Amino acid sequence: MKRLAILGSTGSIGRQTLEVVAANPGRFSVYALAAGSDVEALRRQVEAFRPALAALGNPDIEVRDFPIPLLRGEEGLVTLATAPEVELVVVATSGAAGLAPTLAAIRSGKEIALANKEVLVMAGEIVAAEARAHGVTLRPVDSEHSAIWQCLLGEAPRTVERLILTASGGPFRTWPRERLARVTPEEALAHPIWKMGPKITIDSATLFNKGLEVIEAHHLFDMPYERIEVVVHPQSLIHSMVEFCDGSVKAQLGFPDMRLPIQYALGYPERLPHRYTTVKWAEAGRLDFEPVDEERFPCLRLAREAGRAGRTYPAVLAAADEVAVGLFLEGRIGFLDIPRLIAEALEAHRPAGPVDLASIRAADAWARSWVERSAGG
């Protein structure tokens, strides 16, 4: 059995990872679990999966009578990610919390299933360089990057012409811009296809998540930005495509269920049988494609610009969005204020010094403070 450490186990991807583990008895065992702040959910998971270790990212929460050793803070996450008994680390945390444990796991030579977008967005150059230096393959868990990874297997890199990421378009794909100004959090959380956590659901509605995925694809597959495209595919049956130099295109298709790319990342290079929903192709109907309207959804353009600018601009991009989404969900700003605040934060940012974890964290903290102040004003 492959022994896993799951960081972010109480979030959407973490919970679905545990579903995959439960559906494959004898294949995987859980050695360590880590959550951010949800102590009771973590306690229930510990009772169900009986790991040896657990950690809580938030060091300030009081915890009593926890059934196993409970580590705290970033140091605790790093300890779990580098434990000698762990073979594969699932990084399903959100935000900057995944940076240090991911780098530590890479340097320990662990297999890594990466579901934290911000790790590659904020520190993609550092993470990719460390992975190459230590011979570690980052196994993408995002359905789009998993699709590209699967399409590239067995192909020579020099034959790849373009990577084509698909986007559902979110719940407001056909809405005019003036209507977007009145979007409520409840409307934005009602994604038509995928069931995800609140943050990524809002990012899907703004298409910000697709911008992050462009930056991720750049680092995961060493592909120039000008050869990474995004198309809207409302049915979400094609998860992404790769075009080759001879004009042929490979696409990976499947039912929109995150447990499928999670299971592929955990079981790689083997494909494991599954018990989830499959597509009835005779009833699937049409497969439609549309261009992205970047006037109505400017977050995709902002992400491309930040990715091309490099340095600490992607860290500002990710942090500004995280704060702005939180403010929107609290009803403190409007839907269209999300891209406005991101754009203004990127415009105001002035990178300083070499790009390392310290400068990335400083840019992250600056952007969070800047957006809070700007929204408050």
How does pLDDT run across 319-339, given as a tens digit for each residue?
999 999 999 999 999 999 999
C-alpha dihedral sign at 196, 202, 203, 207: positive
Domain ranges of the chain: 2-140
> What is d(CA 166, CA 17) in angstroms, rounded to the nearest whole number?
23
Q: Check if the beta carbon of residue 51 is closer than 8 Å to that of residue 72.
A: no
List CB contacts of 84: < 8 A, sequence separation 6 or more.
Answer: none
> What is d(CA 350, CA 335) in angstroms, rounded to the nearest whole number?
26
pLDDT of residue 376: 77
222, with CB counted inside 10 A (0-12, 13-18, 19+), is exposed
**What percentage of the chain carries pLDDT values higher than 90?**
91
Mean pLDDT, all residues of the chain: 95
Lowest mean pLDDT among 27-41, 45-59, 161-175, 186-200: 186-200
Q: Is this prediction's pTM over 0.75?
A: yes
- pLDDT of 377 above 70: no
- pLDDT of 275 above 90: no
pLDDT of residue 161: 98
pLDDT of residue 194: 64
Lowest mean pLDDT among 42-46, 186-190, 224-228, 246-250: 186-190
- pLDDT of 198 above 90: no
Mean of the pLDDT values across residues 265-269?
97
Q: CATH number of 2-140: 3.40.50.720, 3.30.2420.10, 3.40.50.150, 3.90.600.10?
A: 3.40.50.720
SS (HEC) of the chain: CEEEEEECCCCHHHHHHHHHHHHCCCCEEEEEEEECCCHHHHHHHHHHHCCCEEEECCCCCCCCCCCCCEEEHHHHHHHHHCCCCCCEEEECCCHHHHHHHHHHHHHCCCEEEECCHHHHHHHHHHHHHHHHHCCCCEEECCHHHHHHHHHHCCCCHHHEEEEEEEECCCCCCCCCHHHHCCCCHHHHCCCCCCCCCHHHHHHHHHCHHHHHHHHHHHHHCCCCHHHEEEEECCCCCEEEEEEECCCCEEEEECCCCCHHHHHHHHHCCCCCCCCCCCCCHHHCCCCCCECCCCCCCCHHHHHHHHHHHCCCHHHHHHHHHHHHHHHHHCCCCCCCHHHHHHHHHHHHCCCCCCCCHHHHHHHHHHHHHHHHHHHHC
Between residues 71 and 196, which one has the greater pLDDT? 71
* Residue of 151, 188, 186 lying closest to 166 (CA atoms): 151
> What is d(CA 239, CA 252) in angstroms, rounded to the nearest whole number?
6
319, with CB counted inside 10 A (0-12, 13-18, 19+), is buried
> What is d(CA 234, CA 107) in angstroms, rounded to the nearest whole number?
40
pLDDT of residue 71: 97
pLDDT of residue 199: 87
User: Which amino acid does the sequence have at 50?
Assistant: R
pLDDT of residue 195: 65
Token pair belonging to 364: 């992250």
pLDDT tens digits, 51-109: 999 999 999 999 999 999 999 999 999 999 999 999 999 999 988 889 999 999 999 99
